[in-house]
Amino acid sequence: MSAIGLNGHSNCPTALTNSRLSGRKRTWSSGAALVGAAQAVEHYEIARYGTLKAWALELGLDDAASLLETTLKEEEDTDHQLSELAVKLINQKAEAAE
Ligand SMILES: [Fe+2]
């Protein structure tokens, strides 16, 4: 998570999901829910970094735009890794446990 992300805020999807799962047995389904919540955060960050990068480019702040592009790619990579984790493991395990 980034400094401008949702982490630590009460409306953070991962914090809310984790809170709702608190005290319950951890299952593959709860893992799937947590991955989905983490992806919601990544999607928020991707949208924000994309906007900030566009604004930086519009203002001629090329160095800032480059840094924002690097961060944007990191967020996209994390999102893709979470998708792979869900598709290749967690979702299948959750379905099999039903
Ligand atoms: Fe992130």
Q: Which pLDDT score is estimated for 3?
A: 45
CA 56 to ligand 1 center in whole angstroms: 20
**Domain locations in the chain?**
13-97
CA 51 to ligand 1 center in whole angstroms: 15
Topology of domain 13-97, CATH: Ferritin (1.20.1260)
- Does the predicted model carry a pTM greater than 0.75? yes
CA 81 to ligand 1 center in whole angstroms: 11
Angle, CA of 58, 43 and 17, to the nearest 5°: 145
Q: Is the pLDDT of residue 18 over 90?
A: no
Cα–Cα dist 84/79, whole Å: 9
Q: Is the pLDDT of residue 92 over 50?
A: yes
Q: Which tens digit of pLDDT belongs to each residue from 28-85?
A: 999 999 999 999 999 999 999 999 999 999 999 999 999 999 999 999 999 999 999 9
CA 98 to ligand 1 center in whole angstroms: 30
